[in-house]
Amino acid sequence: MSTAIIMRTLLIYLCSLLAATNPASAVDVRTPAEVIVENGTTGILQCSFKSGEVVSSLAAVSWTFQPTGSVPYSIFYYGNGKGFPSEQYKKRVQFIGDLNKNDASIHLLQVQSNDEGTYICDVKNPPDVSGRPSRTELKVALGDLQSHGNCSTDAQTDLFSVLQTALECREYLLPQWSTEQAAKLLISMRNLTNSIQEQQRKACQDNPTSKCPDPVVPDNGGLACVTVNDYRYCKPMCNKGFDFKFLRRSRLYERCGTDTGFSWQSQYIGGNTLAECIESSIQVSGGATAYFPQDCLTTQSSNHSTIQTVMAGLKEQGVAGATSYACLVCA
């Protein structure tokens, strides 16, 4: 390791000691939960951050790699406008971020199957040196996706087109299918639906800064969640034609954080159930904003303002501060 890196590391360490006696706001580092890269291509490992201090020349970024089932090791360090990849990654890692724009992303060249694992981004901006590193899981798609018709980049567009055509032509198509064909299609649709729902839940609930357990998404409804000042707030909502099992007009949201012992405080003792939506011709148990106009998925598919409504409701209750990891997840 060069003398320059050693000196900068020592300086950051000294700043961390200073921060221990003069606490600064934590650096909020964020990465995608997962990234999939085609074998043999260049992968983009995104990393962004927020700091309570102006980004200075002392700001530094470190990237660590932890192979599956193994120990982590450093692959890249960036500081003072220069990148220092480890020996093994000298020709494979390039810094593509801009610290002045709160971007600490890197390129990983010629991705191979043995690159699969967890990549950890850490940012220090002295004297703002506290905060947690953020992790992203890299998965490698083997083979040339462009050469496989089933996995081409046009697959999404083709799928939407086929499904739309099937809906428009259902009166003609359905009578043509045998029982076996219909059953196979239903199985495929069920598997695809389950995979999409699991991915949506993961994207919403995979909050690396939270110690709170994942809340249960109510059937026939959804959850609108947001983190404010390290507290997780979730608002249960019911679809049209359903109402809450218990009266909760005064409970605009449920909360989890330090003072709750990192457990959800709800009408249900123990567990992570926040609410239940049961079939009902009237909706009276919840507040006016606790119901979807139609259903959660329809709201999710549009340019909805549900999250903004939740944030406004929190602000009215005196909950204010930096917000992050806002999402809407449906059952």
- Residue 306 placed within a domain: yes
| Residues 192-223 as b or e (16 or more Cβ within 10 Å = b) | eeeeeeeebbeebbbbebbebebbbbbebbbb
pLDDT of residue 10: 44
Cα separation of 215 and 236, whole Å? 10
Q: Specify whether 12 is located in the same domain as 132.
A: yes
Amino acid at 136: T
pLDDT of residue 12: 45
- Residue 175 placed within a domain: no
- Residue 240 placed within a domain: yes
pLDDT of residue 40: 85
Cα separation of 207 and 223, whole Å? 15
- Residue 181 placed within a domain: no
Q: How far apart, in Å, are the Cα atoms of 33 and each of 134, 139, 200, 303, 309? A: 9, 11, 12, 23, 26
Q: Specify whether 10 is located in the same domain as 130.
A: yes
Question: Residue 52's domain is classified under what CATH number?
Answer: 2.60.40.10
Please list the residues that pair with 136 across neighbouring strands.
119
> Which of these three, 106, 123, 141, is where a domain ends?
141
Q: Are 240 and 249 in contact (CB under 8 A)?
A: no
- Residue 247 placed within a domain: yes
Q: Specify whether 131 is located in the same domain as 247.
A: no
Q: Specify whether 109 is located in the same domain as 236.
A: no
pLDDT of residue 25: 62
> Which of these three, 141, 176, 209, is where a domain ends?
141
Residue 115: Cβ within 10 Å count = 18
> Which of these three, 98, 120, 141, is where a domain ends?
141
Domain carrying residue 64 = 3-141
The token pair at 174 is 């359905």
The token pair at 126 is 């002295």
pTM for the predicted model, two decimal places: 0.52
Q: Specify whether 234 is located in the same domain as 125.
A: no
Q: Specify whether 19 is located in the same domain as 107.
A: yes
Which mean pLDDT values do the consecutive 10-residue runs of the chain (331 residues) have? 46 44 69 88 92 89 90 93 91 91 92 91 90 91 58 64 84 86 87 79 63 89 89 94 94 90 85 94 94 92 79 88 83 85
- Residue 275 DSSP one-character state: -
Q: Specify whether 137 is located in the same domain as 229.
A: no
How many domains is the chain built from? 2
Q: What is the 3-state secondary structure (H, E, C) of 84-116?
A: EECHHHCCCEEECCEHHHCECCEEECCCCHHHC
pLDDT of residue 52: 85
192 CB-near residues (< 8 Å, 6+ apart): none
What is the C-alpha R_g of the chain?
24
Q: Specify whether 132 is located in the same domain as 226.
A: no
Q: Specify whether 137 is located in the same domain as 226.
A: no
- Residue 177 placed within a domain: no
- Residue 203 placed within a domain: no
pLDDT of residue 294: 93
pLDDT of residue 322: 77
Q: Specify whether 135 is located in the same domain as 229.
A: no
Query: Around 173, how many Cα atoms within 13 Å sit in the side-chain half-sphere?
Result: 12
pLDDT of residue 7: 44
- Residue 56 placed within a domain: yes
Q: Specify whether 226 is located in the same domain as 131.
A: no
